[in-house]
Structure 1
Amino acid sequence: MQTIAVIGYGAVASYVRMAATSSRFRVAAVIGRPGRENAARAVFGEVPFLAEVSRLPVGLDVVVDCAGHAGLRDHGAGVLRRGLPLVTVSIGALADDGLRAELAEAARAGGSRLHLASGAIGALDALSAASAGRLEEVRYTGRKPPSGWAGSPAEKRLDLRNLSEPAVHFDGSARDCALTYPKNANVAASVALAGLGFDRTGARLIADPTTTRNTHEISARGDFGELNFTIAGKGMPDNPKSSALTAMSVVRTILNREERIVFG
């Protein structure tokens, strides 16, 4: 049985904790901001709460980041330097070239690896394979109901409460998308890293009052042919802004570490 530590205590972390009760791993520690012990205890019970990576127990197999961009920035390099594999869904944070370089150097120094969970999107395997040839164009489109963009820069660009038809509130590069929408654009970053990179990948974000799902679309063309992929994902029951598939992808990444036959 694998022994893991989790960074964060939100909806995705809660799903990982529930999966641990019936899967082949157990949670030995939770990492979070100082003073947040009660929030972590509400999710993980009596699992030890740590504010510093340096206090992680020995014998861990992997650390899982479910805390968002800030969690990866605060703790990612420390985990990797300790020689521990790190799984993250905070892929949008890698639009920061400085952070990406820091994490890569920490992984080299520790002889470890940063694993990017596929999160809320599919077809990344096909896109990554296509990037071994010549890719001409890759575009990501994210579509959510107006309430799904609450708390994001979309609030300053659209009247989200009174939309009567779909409206675009961002159209630019995947880098700008990931940096401008840190809580909403991890998928754009995943598409960028799998294909043409942050600056050559197009991204568009849409508030759509006609839908109740979070829809992600990838279109690409190149030497391989053409690709069009769409997934209409459900949110998590206790936090509709978090994708259920994101949480599932974290659990699958953990389980795959012990499988002898895996995809990818």
Structure 2
Amino acid sequence: MASERRLALIGFGTIARDIHARLGGEGFGFACLLRPGSPSRASLPAGIAALDSLAELLAWRPDLVVEAAGHAAVAETLPQVLAAGIPALPASTGALADDALLLRLAEAAQKGDARLIVPSGAVGGLDYLAALRETQDAEIRYTSRKPPAAWRPELAASGLAEKAAQAEIVLYEGSAREAAKLYPKNLNVGLTIALAVGHDRLSVRIVSDPAAAGNTHEIEATSALGTARMSFVNLPSPANPKTSALTAASLTAAIRRQFDRIAI
């Protein structure tokens, strides 16, 4: 990997901190865009340049921008980043459920001759699923199964918190697009799968399960090419139970692929 690569982070929460910890010794220069008054500013590690505006980020001329600040940040920053010719890697892939935003990003990438890189996040097998996109009869079901702690606000709002401690509850079953809108902090994986296979071929189930050993992602695919069943049981991030600890590791791998001479 070449030295002097400039990596700009948008936000400095759990995911961005983990990425910096993993890549800090690999010759990257880091900058971080933070909103005014962000509590993360005081804890920003030495050696990371603090940026106050998108204009400052663009002037810093990073080789890659990694969004790790939530769905709103994707819409507010990445169109300008891509239009400026800078590739972007969003952690909040659920934001791409918005067709209008996805079109804006595609047009910006075309204008800037840049790439929007959608990471695999907390699952694998996206290469297999993408291969099914042109298979007419392909049917894919994705189940997100997490402990009740990951769904605490949703369970409390629906009056199901007590029941959820005793038995599994199906919170949602339907399209990936609607699931990402209803559960924006939990369904990045579902949206990523939908982008790989096409929205019309994917159904989504969201399950609160007290017996779940961790954040579990189950994918079932059936087509004329064969069948596949994949299950990923990821431990939640200690700092944020809604996020798999694997997410930052996956983003780190995507960053390395962007710069490695041999990419896998």
Give the letter aligned to residue 78 of structure 1.
Q
Aligned residue among 187, 190, 199 for 1:188: 190
Q: How many residues align?
A: 259
Structure 1 partner of 2:215: 214
Q: Distance in 1 between the 2:258 and 2:180 partners?
A: 28
Give the letter aligned to residue 63 of structure 2.
D
Structure 2 partner of 1:99: 101
Aligned residue among 167, 170, 179 for 1:168: 170
Give the letter aligned to residue 133 of structure 1.
T
Aligned residue among 9, 13, 18 for 1:6: 9
**Contact 1:174–1:192 (CA<8 Å) still a contact in 2?**
yes
Q: Distance in 2 between the 1:44 and 1:76 partners?
A: 24
Q: Distance in 1 between the 2:181 and 2:131 partners?
A: 26
Shift of 1:33: 1.9
Structure 1 partner of 2:74: 72
Structure 1 partner of 2:263: 262
Aligned residue among 61, 82, 85 for 2:84: 82
Shift of 1:42: 1.2
Structure 2 partner of 1:233: 234
Give the letter aligned to residue 195 of structure 2.
L
Aligned residue among 21, 28, 35 for 1:18: 21
Shift of 1:109: 1.0
Moved over 4 A (4+): none
**Contact 1:160–1:207 (CA<8 Å) still a contact in 2?**
no
Q: TM-score normalized by structure 1?
A: 0.92
Structure 2 partner of 1:60: 62
Q: Unpaired runs of 5+ in structure 1?
A: none
**Contact 2:67–2:74 (CA<8 Å) still a contact in 1?**
yes
Give the letter aligned to residue 69 of structure 1.
H
Three-state SS of the structure 1 residue aligned to 2:128 is helix
**Contact 2:19–2:251 (CA<8 Å) still a contact in 1?**
yes
Shift of 1:119: 0.4
Cα 1:135–1:31 change in 2 (3 A) is farther
Q: Distance in 1 between the 2:66 and 2:151 partners?
A: 26
Q: Distance in 2 between the 1:100 and 1:125 partners?
A: 21
Q: CA RMSD in A?
A: 1.7
**Contact 1:147–1:160 (CA<8 Å) still a contact in 2?**
no
Q: Distance in 2 between the 1:224 and 1:155 partners?
A: 43
Shift of 1:53: 1.6
Three-state SS of the structure 2 residue aligned to 1:44 is coil
1:134 matches 2:123: no
Q: Distance in 2 between the 1:59 and 1:51 partners?
A: 15
Q: Distance in 2 between the 1:105 and 1:157 partners?
A: 40
Q: Distance in 2 between the 1:228 and 1:53 partners?
A: 42
Shift of 1:154: 4.1
Q: Distance in 1 between the 2:226 and 2:134 partners?
A: 13
Identity %: 37
Structure 2 partner of 1:224: 225
Give the letter aligned to residue 64 of structure 1.
V
Q: Distance in 2 between the 1:206 and 1:235 partners?
A: 15
Shift of 1:187: 0.6
**Contact 1:214–1:235 (CA<8 Å) still a contact in 2?**
yes
Q: Unpaired runs of 5+ in structure 2?
A: none
Q: Distance in 1 between the 2:97 and 2:137 partners?
A: 20
**Contact 1:216–1:230 (CA<8 Å) still a contact in 2?**
yes
